[in-house]
Structure 1
Amino acid sequence: MPTLRSLFAIALLGLSLSIGPLQAAEPPTSEAVQANLDKIADRKLPEADQKALQSLLQGTLTQLNNKKDYEQKLSDLKQQLATAPKLNIENQRELVRLKGTKVLPVAQRYANSSIQQLEQMLTERSTQQSDLQKALAEANSLIITAQTRPERAQAEIASSQTRIQQINNILKAGKDNGKTLSGEQRDQLNAELAALNALIPLRRQELAGNNQLQDLGNSQHDLLSEKTTRLDQEIQELQTLINQKRLAQSQETVTQQSIEAQKSGSSSLLAVESAANLKLSDYLLKSTDRLNEVTQQNLQTKQQLDSVTQSDSALDEQINVLKGSLLLSKILYKQKQALPRLQLDRDLADQIADIRLYQFEVSQQRELLSNPAAYVDNLLSTQPPEQVTPQLRKSLLELANTRSDLLERLNRELSAVLNESITLQLNQKQLLSTAQSLRATLDEQMFWIPSNKPLDPEWMRGVPERLQRQVTTLPWTSSLSELIDGLVQRPLLFLPLVLLIGALLWRRKNLYARLNKVHQDIGHFKRDSQWHTPQAILINILLAVPVALGLALCGLALQFDARGQNANMGAALIQMGQAWLVFYTAYRILAPGGVAELHFRWEKPQVEFLQGWIRRLGLVVMALVAVVAVAELQPAALADDVLGMPVVLTCYGLMAWLLGRLLISSPTHESASLFRRAVGVLFAVLPIALFVAVCFGYYYTALKLSDRLINTLYLLMFWLVIEATFVRGLSVAARRLAYHRALAKRQAAKEAGEGEAVIEEPTLDIEKVNEQSLRLIRLALLGGFIAALYWVWSDLISVFSYLDNITLYEYTSGTGANMSMVPISIGDMLGALIIIGITFALARNLPGLLEVLVLSKLNLAQGSAYATTTLLSYVIAGVGFVSTLSTLGVSWDKLQWLVAALSVGLGFGMQEIFANFISGIMILFERPVRIGDTITIGNLSGTVSKIRIRATTITDFDRKDIIVPNKTFITGQLINWSLTDTITRVTLKLGVDYGSDLDLVKALLLQAARENPRVLKEPEPHVYFLNFGESTLDHELRMHVRDLGDRNPVLDEVNRFINNEFKKQNINISFRQMEVYLKNLHGQEYKLVPVEEENKTIISREVPAGVSTQAKTDASTDVAKDPSKDVSTGLAKDEPEQEPPPTKLD
């Protein structure tokens, strides 16, 4: 059996070897694919199938074009490699020849050339310089490509081979994702396969000849650099020679005119004309100087512009070639450091305007001298005839001809200066724009690419060597001597600062004494003022200045010296001085019995906690700013930095711990507002994120963010102190106002003879301060904080445009031929989140701010302000919602169908909620009820306290909040007691005995109404005799009151008045009476006699013998069956008149 298995395995192996590899079909030709693409419309396919087929054919055509392109590049590469050794040798020989050739100065070679010839040479050399710069950029690109080709080519070959295997498997199976391949899909896969088979030999050939290509690039770069250097030198010398020749001509002219002016003799006319010619020659000389200056500036600007333009054009290629390589970060750092420092001529526009104006004046003088003889005749006509001689006429004619020539030359010079100035202005603007664009691109790329290797074990193994190398480069011994030299060499600058530090240290005890005196005045009504807090803060700043100024002084001295690492160390000392000033000032403010405790009234446990916390955080920040300052000045050295990175990581960890401790362990963390908690969480999370970024190699990014984070921390601390200062100022102002009012009250009491002792009132609580003023001040401070925050982060905002390159998804825009795919990036997602945040902030705060600033100053109807602010919040929320969807690519033409479907579905399932929603909008527009209205709806009465989009809150007169759906107000019956007018009628009904004096009753009722202050005179009260009752003469008193709160009080007061006056006038208020007889079974009856004892009616206990007690039961039953009868007497009760609900004033 084992033998048979072996034979069977050998047979299968032979069979498999006999089968050749699967051969893919030949790809279609480009002409055939294009023909099929042109005939798509004739196939009458559905629109979706037609678009899919068109996409397939276009993809096939693209792959075929790629195949041809790869084959052509392979052919060109082989030719380049064949000629590379020869070109390399020729470049090296040419470089040796150039370096060995001595170049004669341009002034010697072209000493006899005219200005026109020299300008023509300068133009030719400028053209050659542009061509050399382009060739040099190509050589640099060739070198960079060769340096990174091995990794990229190997990765591309591997991915191409993987894709080839996938295509072969798909073609073999005849299916792709479970679907059978169509003919067009097979053609596309065959075309892609052919393109990949053409790409792989190209990449392998590039790998094989990579060393030759790199050597060729290096030789070309060296040769072109030498040629560019020599050509730049020649251009500079040519321009200098042209300037010298122009200046010589102008000086010669000035000399000639000076001689002519001296020959003018005693003739005043000749002297005047000679002086005018001399003035023109002087201006011609100045114009020549200006032309030389502008031309030189233009040349430098043009060279800078060409260099920046070449760097900008090659940047995209470098990014694509070196993407993911640490070499890219180093190249970008060097390019940023090589960017020119732009010094634009701010007065250039004004100078161009002056040149145009003077050129106009010169043209007028040229027109005046167009006929020299006529000009001379005009001059001589003003002279006495005896002074006019042929010699004078001849001399004047010569001066006129000379002036005409001067004006012609001056006009040419001015035209040249004008042209050069305009060109310089345009070049400067273009240079500024290009440099800013390049700088923004460099900052963006440097921010988002790693500057260091990740902190993996390989990096750790190389730490000792790099650390030793970095430590040896630090100027440990020379920095102190160079610091002293820097201080000594500039005594006029540093000596006053040193004296200031000494004076502050000498007067330190006096500063402490002054601070204690200021603290003692706090809380005293007469001595305390709003300026005490700024004084105390200023004294604390002065206490922090000596150390801060000393660090800054040492930093300036090292920066002025600028040898080796001195400039970097100087920047670190300056930043440390700034950190010391901020944190030590905050530490002094938080001292026991200091500004925070006495002035700001912060709680003592919180102040003690913050003082220890600020001390620790200050030490961490000082170490961090030192490393950040040094690293930002030498970004190219970040890849080898192993000394500053541990310091930065340690500082990040400590900052995260300290900020987290502030957020969690602070004594007042539970009472902090949501905004301050959010800021605290953000500050606590950022150091952790920066720590992770450094570990992944984004060292430069972390340092840039650290700088902004620290500045934001400074800004936040400053904002908190300023806000507390303003709040205390308002508190002091309110307390002084209360004190002056108390004094005024005491003075008034004295004048009235009621002497009172002066009692100092306690310090007013902050809630008693003017709330509107406090809100406006906080709003202004918040606006200033946001503006300052933008200024801190403004230079990094542009780097986030890099997120627009990361696409999350795409959506279709337009229809038909205009349809296109629009990408949605991470930047769009962040923009949507920002819109949501802004919408939430505006919807929450803007309506209230509008009410405080605007609506409160307008004479609006009751509830109008609330309706306006509520609708505004809805509008803001709606606009924010639509803007967010638009940012995310959800346009209304796509959303409307979803909205329609949801509206139908939700309309059935949530119709009550939608009804309440619509009713809420109708309530806000129609305003049948408003905030503060007293209403009755059904058996519910109360005051409207809130109107929301779904329900309205009513506070009843038991102080209970009742939620009523808005639909009830629209569909049900509603009584609004204060909609248009709060005046209501109060009706009082009463009956008097038969036989009473009706006129007297009416007079007393009217008197009761008219003498009550709550009853309105207009409409006047009325009394009506309305009915003859069973036992009463029924009267009704009708009166009106102004407010709902007066209804029940007026009834109480009028009833009491009526009761008293009717007793005096012996008028009885009748009540219903009934005689009750009890009968027994024997026909005997007894009459119930009322006994007035304790206001009760009792039944006589004397019942004859033999009378059944059934009568008692019957009587009780009779009463029980008639609920309108009194329980004790069985009399019918009076039904009171329906009254409106009681009010809060009852």
Structure 2
Amino acid sequence: MRASPLFSSARQGLPRWWLPALWLLLCACLLPPAATAQSLTSLAGLGSSSSSSSSSDEERAIQAQREATATAEQEADALAQSLERLRSRVQTPAGTAPAPLSDQELGQIQARWEERVPANASQEVLEKLLTDEREAIAALKSGIEKSAAEQANLVAQPGNGRSDLASLQQRVQETAAPVTAEPGESKALTQARQQRRSAEHRRATQELALRQEEQSTIETRQRLLDVQLQTQRRELLERTPRVAWLNQRIADRARQQLEQQVQQTQAAENDTAEASAAVRELAQQNSALAAQILAHNDRLVQERQDLASDEYRQSQLASALRDTQARLRLGGSASVGQWLWKQRVALPTVNTIQSRRKATLRQLAELRLALFNASERRFSLNGTATGGGNSGMTTRGSAQSTALWTKQAALIDQLQPLLLRRIAVLEQTDAALQSTLTSGNALRQVMDKELLWFPSHLAMGGAWLDEWRSVLRSSDGAGLEQGASASPWNTARALGASILRNLWIYAGIVAGVALLLGLRRYALQKLQAIATQVDNFSQDHFGLTLLALGWSLLYALPWSFATAALGTLLQSTAAPVALEPLGQALEQLSAFVFVVTLLNVLFRPCGLAVAHFGWPRERVQVLRQMVLRATWLIVPIDLLGGLAFFSHDDSAISTWGRMCLLVLTLGLAWMAFRYLRQSLGKQRPGLRWSQVVSVAVLLVLAVTLVGIGLGYVYTATEVIQALLSSFVFLAAAEVLVSLLRRWLLLGERRLALNRLRAAALQRQAANAAAAADAAAGGGTAPTANNNATDEQSQMALVTVSTQAHRLLGLLQRVLVALSLVYAWSPVLPALLRFEGVVLWYTTNTEASGIARPAPVSLMDLLVGALILLMTFSLTRNLPGLVEVVFSSTRRVSSSDRYTMATLARYGITIAGTVSALSLLGLRWSQLQWMAAALTVGLGFGLQEIFANFVSGLILLVERPFRVGDVITINQHTGTVTRIRTRATTVLDFDNQEIVIPNKTFITGQVTNWTLSDDVTRLIIDVSVAHGSDPAEVQRMLLAIAAEHPKVLREPEANCWFMALEGQGQKFELRVYVGAVDDRLPVRNDLNRSINARLKAAGIAVAFPQMDIHVRDLPPAPAAAQEAQGA
């Protein structure tokens, strides 16, 4: 309502407090004096409490402003110190970079350092030097990594720095403006806000100065970093050979001494040949200890070499990760894709590193246990030396035994530090392996995210043809062992040589395959026999299906076993290294061979698809032809392509590896087009999912072909593998669902047969009883009961079948979703790159009141769309899911399930919509005021709709009636079928759907026939002629009611003699039924039975009679009188 101009002018001319003041004055005048004083006192107390509350709020606000001011001052001081350090660092002279060292100069430096090491240095001194050098090398590597990372940031800093400077300048201008006091704000709070604004201005000014200094000194810092990096790398180059030299020096000296020690202990053992058994055993222990020390020393040398190689690999991975991230920050190009591909090829496998780490941890555990045992043994030797040792040693006091005990103590003292050094080296190895795994995983994640979007090879052109020429030239003459390029020709020659060298091993594989082929023929015969049994209705059971599945798996085993065994053999140490790529390709191919062979036998006429699952033969024939074509297309191409990719030869991958991928893509596109053409050739209305999938596959393959030509070889490989994996997993999901469907169908068939047999027995018993009653003169028994029982059984069977198939449909959708996600999981990380594609910016206000820009990326848009799609899918399928989950329990009725599904649908819709909008930058804090305004506006404009919506929620929560209840409202009686947000649908007995607004149920009177109890009373009026025996009639009616199966025994039926009418005697038979749907069938059955019994008993049914009394007869016609006279 808009105010009048007069009222508006009055409000503008008077203070805002005049209306409250006038109201208080009127109240004071109207109240008595005592009450006035008391009221003023309470108002004063209220004002004091309000002022204290406002003062406490103001103090908290001032304290918050002061804390923010202190934080800003501290940040400004830190920025000022960083600026001073940067200026002092830039003013430092860069110096000259060291000249690169030649091999001769490096050798001279190493020789001078070796001269400084004493020739007679002890083992401990050499170990100390080795530890110092290793620590210095580790510090140099850390410094180099830090300097390289800083240099990479400097390279990418100019572009990012300019955008940062613009935002910082804007912030400096914003914080330079003074604070304006808000209405009603105290002076102290205004001063606190001004101090905070000044501190923020100082912080922004310092940060701007620091960023400007960084931008202006980029070239100077780059020169300083170049000099620093070259100096560090030169020092690292000088120190690296020292570690190898010290390791060799320590190993040579230790081995020489330990070999002499072994000889001495063996000589001492020989000297004790004529001594006692205890002395000989002690000498043997010393000899074994000396040999053990020598073995530990040799292992230490090898472990130190392995540690050096592991640390080198770890540093290479860390450097590759740093360089990759720097290249990606500088921007994407074709060269970045080729760089990423080379790093991907050189990346060590996770399984190799993890197996090395497991072996290292196992060795560490063994060494720690050996060290513990050595310490215990040394402690026992101390006890032996003091007289508490082995009492069984008869020669303990002799000089020979004493010398042996002393020698054993010295050997253990020598073994313990050696074990400690081995433990230290293995711990360093484990740390290096763990760091390698971390760097490798990080690099692999970066590649999975970025490599799909860059070409991994050059485009097909002149350079590609030159690669072909070089590959063909390298394949002539030399084999793979001589370093030639990987090619099928060289691999075939190496395979032939390997077969000749290991003829018996290959013969064993051939024998195993021949045995499996014999079993395969037997499996095919068993499948045909099982299919014959399945056709026989009486012999069919689910065990036959499981047996057929087992024989199908055996049928698919031979060629898969051949490829897997051959691949494992070619990767073993007995095979040449040149055949390892072929072994890996065969091992990978074995899984595909098993799948296509299994599908081939499944699609046979005696296979599971036709004989057990009942799939259409035409469809199965088409699928089998596709599987055969895919087998002949994919197997040879996958073998050749796998040979190229597993060889890690970039030239082989770019040439004939790419050619195999190109042929495979063309073949798959031809198969998809052929299937689409066959599908379109069938004259069926509408568009089917198979046609949509075929078109989508054709589009993906067309894009893949173009990508292969442009150099996206790695991307095409991942896409083709994901497509093939999708088909395989979808086929597996379909087979699993078909197995479950057959199990359910067989169970339903068995249940139906049992019910038919039971119904037949019931009918026979009922017919026999009816015949007996007829023979006894008792009339005919009702036959509708058996029909009702059969109908109940059929309805129960249909209910079980519907729920089971609904559950199967849900399971099938879940399996399809999981299969697609698992098949495309290698490609999904590439979608994370969409996080960097910013579409727009939104503003988020932090707790401190500062507004920050928040980007909305393409990934947010895709995730929001996915959430909306999942929300829509859940709201559509949620009723079916609730029905399936809770249909097996009797505690949750159908109406309860409907209420749960409806409320859950509302909640999911609201939560999904809010989540999707929040990803798009529309936070709830921004939407709540608009939602409140829309709610108020729509509430006034659409009152009826909102009233019906709220009424619908009340009906769902309060539940005065439920879905399935029989209600009466406004002379409409029917069954509630749906409760929607606006209206409720009622199905009446004429099969008409009546839509009633929800508001009517809240404001009107509703009769619910089945709210708390489904039992209802049925009244049947019976009139018999006068003269009938009332007691006999009552007994007959009660007997008829007791014989009906749907008439309840509790409450019991009643029969009343209601009246003597002119037409006859009136009786009422009152019975109770358990369901509203039983009212009409029971009334029909009872009326028929009553009619038959009354007729058989000779009791007449009363009918209307009318007696007419004629007082005056009309005169007879003249013609009639003449006729009578004649």
TM-score under structure 1 length normalisation: 0.67
Aligned 8 A contact 1:803 1:827 in 2: yes
Structure number with higher helix proportion: 2
Q: Aligned partners of 1:568 and 1:669: how far apart in 2?
A: 51
2:620 pairs with 1:629:
no
Pairing of 1:759-778 with structure 2 (within 5 A): none
Equivalent in the alignment of 2:341: 333
Amino acid at match of 2:433: Q
Q: Of the candidates 387, 392, 397, which is equivalent to residue 392 of structure 1? A: 397
Equivalent in the alignment of 1:1120: none
Pairing of 1:492-571 with structure 2 (within 5 A): 492-499=504-511, 516-525=528-537, 530=542
Aligned 8 A contact 2:449 2:833 in 1: yes
Equivalent in the alignment of 1:15: none
The alpha-carbon distance between structure 1 residues 110 and 911, as it changes in their structure 2 partners (threshold 3 A), is: farther
Shift of 1:395: 6.7
Q: Of the candidates 924, 934, 944, which is equivalent to residue 912 of structure 1? A: 944
Amino acid at match of 2:935: S
Pairing of 1:975-986 with structure 2 (within 5 A): 975-986=1007-1018
Equivalent in the alignment of 2:1041: 1012
Amino acid at match of 2:346: A
The alpha-carbon distance between structure 1 residues 687 and 70, as it changes in their structure 2 partners (threshold 3 A), is: farther
2:943 pairs with 1:930:
no
SS at match of 1:812: strand
Q: Of the candidates 439, 442, 453, which is equivalent to residue 434 of structure 1? A: 439
Q: Which has the larger radius of gyration?
A: 1
Equivalent in the alignment of 1:940: 972
Amino acid at match of 1:606: R
Q: Deviations over 1:936-971 (max 9, x none)?
A: 122221222333444333222223333333333333
Q: Of the candidates 312, 317, 328, which is equivalent to residue 303 of structure 1? A: 312
2:120 pairs with 1:112:
yes
Aligned 8 A contact 2:110 2:242 in 1: no
Pairing of 1:448-459 with structure 2 (within 5 A): 448-452=453-457
Q: Deviations over 1:238-280 (max 9, x none)?
A: 2244245445555666666666665597567767776776676
Equivalent in the alignment of 1:759: none
Q: Of the candidates 490, 498, 511, which is equivalent to residue 502 of structure 2? A: 490
Q: Aligned partners of 1:393 and 1:105: how far apart in 2?
A: 51
Aligned 8 A contact 1:719 1:785 in 2: yes
The alpha-carbon distance between structure 1 residues 671 and 718, as it changes in their structure 2 partners (threshold 3 A), is: farther
The alpha-carbon distance between structure 1 residues 490 and 805, as it changes in their structure 2 partners (threshold 3 A), is: farther
Q: Deviations over 1:122-180 (max 9, x none)?
A: 2343245446657987999999999xx9xx99x989x999x99xx9xxxxxxxxxxxxx
Number of aligned residue pairs: give it. 960
Pairing of 1:44-123 with structure 2 (within 5 A): 90-91=99-100, 94-95=102-103, 97-98=105-106, 112-123=120-131
Two-structure CA RMSD over aligned residues (Å) = 6.3
Amino acid at match of 1:306: S
Aligned 8 A contact 2:1024 2:1102 in 1: yes
Which stretch of the first structure deviates more once superposed, 716-725 or 499-508?
Answer: 499-508
Shift of 1:523: 0.4
Amino acid at match of 1:723: V
Equivalent in the alignment of 1:712: 726
2:858 pairs with 1:803:
no
Q: Aligned partners of 1:305 and 1:990: how far apart in 2?
A: 101
Q: Aligned partners of 2:434 and 2:814: how far apart in 1?
A: 34
Q: Aligned partners of 2:261 and 2:879: how far apart in 1?
A: 77
Shift of 1:988: 5.7
Q: Aligned partners of 1:600 and 1:990: how far apart in 2?
A: 58
5+ residue gaps, structure 1, are: 1-46, 168-183, 755-763, 1077-1085, 1090-1099, 1106-1146
Q: Deviations over 1:803-847 (max 9, x none)?
A: 333333454153216765444433333333444454455555566
The alpha-carbon distance between structure 1 residues 351 and 911, as it changes in their structure 2 partners (threshold 3 A), is: farther
The alpha-carbon distance between structure 1 residues 692 and 530, as it changes in their structure 2 partners (threshold 3 A), is: same
Amino acid at match of 2:334: L
Q: Aligned partners of 1:250 and 1:779: how far apart in 2?
A: 72
Amino acid at match of 2:397: L
Shift of 1:645: 6.6
The alpha-carbon distance between structure 1 residues 687 and 769, as it changes in their structure 2 partners (threshold 3 A), is: farther
Which stretch of the first structure deviates more once superposed, 788-797 or 893-902?
Answer: 788-797
Shift of 1:1044: 3.0
Aligned 8 A contact 1:609 1:666 in 2: no
Equivalent in the alignment of 1:316: 325
Equivalent in the alignment of 1:657: 673
The alpha-carbon distance between structure 1 residues 444 and 1050, as it changes in their structure 2 partners (threshold 3 A), is: closer
Aligned 8 A contact 1:366 1:404 in 2: yes
Aligned 8 A contact 1:916 1:950 in 2: yes
The alpha-carbon distance between structure 1 residues 952 and 489, as it changes in their structure 2 partners (threshold 3 A), is: farther
SS at match of 1:1012: helix
SS at match of 1:856: coil
The alpha-carbon distance between structure 1 residues 1056 and 612, as it changes in their structure 2 partners (threshold 3 A), is: closer
Q: Deviations over 1:552-608 (max 9, x none)?
A: 788788878999997667766776776565446545644567654444322233334
The alpha-carbon distance between structure 1 residues 810 and 729, as it changes in their structure 2 partners (threshold 3 A), is: same
Amino acid at match of 1:119: E
Q: Aligned partners of 1:508 and 1:744: how far apart in 2?
A: 45
Q: Of the candidates 239, 242, 246, which is equivalent to residue 238 of structure 1? A: 246
Aligned 8 A contact 1:810 1:822 in 2: yes
Amino acid at match of 1:959: N
Pairing of 1:139-538 with structure 2 (within 5 A): 232=240, 234-246=242-254, 288=297, 291-292=300-301, 294-321=303-330, 323-340=331-348, 341-342=352-353, 343-346=355-358, 348-349=360-361, 352=364, 356=368, 359=371, 375-376=386-387, 378=388, 392=397, 405-452=410-457, 465=466, 468-469=469-470, 472=473, 475=487, 478-499=490-511, 516-525=528-537, 530=542
Shift of 1:916: 3.3
The alpha-carbon distance between structure 1 residues 703 and 901, as it changes in their structure 2 partners (threshold 3 A), is: same
The alpha-carbon distance between structure 1 residues 602 and 481, as it changes in their structure 2 partners (threshold 3 A), is: same
2:616 pairs with 1:603:
yes
The alpha-carbon distance between structure 1 residues 574 and 865, as it changes in their structure 2 partners (threshold 3 A), is: same
Q: Aligned partners of 2:361 and 2:864: how far apart in 1?
A: 43
Shift of 1:975: 1.2
The alpha-carbon distance between structure 1 residues 727 and 401, as it changes in their structure 2 partners (threshold 3 A), is: same
Q: Aligned partners of 1:195 and 1:351: how far apart in 2?
A: 52
Equivalent in the alignment of 1:825: 857
Aligned 8 A contact 2:729 2:823 in 1: no
Amino acid at match of 1:1008: L
Q: Deviations over 1:20-48 (max 9, x none)?
A: xxxxxxxxxxxxxxxxxxxxxxxxxxx9x
Q: Aligned partners of 2:968 and 2:761: how far apart in 1?
A: 51
Q: Aligned partners of 2:340 and 2:638: how far apart in 1?
A: 24
Q: Deviations over 1:52-92 (max 9, x none)?
A: xxx9xx99x99xx99x999999x999x89xx68xx6xx426
Equivalent in the alignment of 1:1083: none
Shift of 1:499: 3.9
Q: Aligned partners of 1:891 and 1:920: how far apart in 2?
A: 29
Shift of 1:933: 1.8
Q: Aligned partners of 2:464 and 2:427: how far apart in 1?
A: 56
Shift of 1:712: 1.9
Shift of 1:451: 2.6
Equivalent in the alignment of 2:36: none
Aligned 8 A contact 1:656 1:685 in 2: no
Pairing of 1:925-1004 with structure 2 (within 5 A): 925-987=957-1019, 1004=1033
The alpha-carbon distance between structure 1 residues 935 and 643, as it changes in their structure 2 partners (threshold 3 A), is: same
Residue identity (%): 24
TM-score under structure 2 length normalisation: 0.68
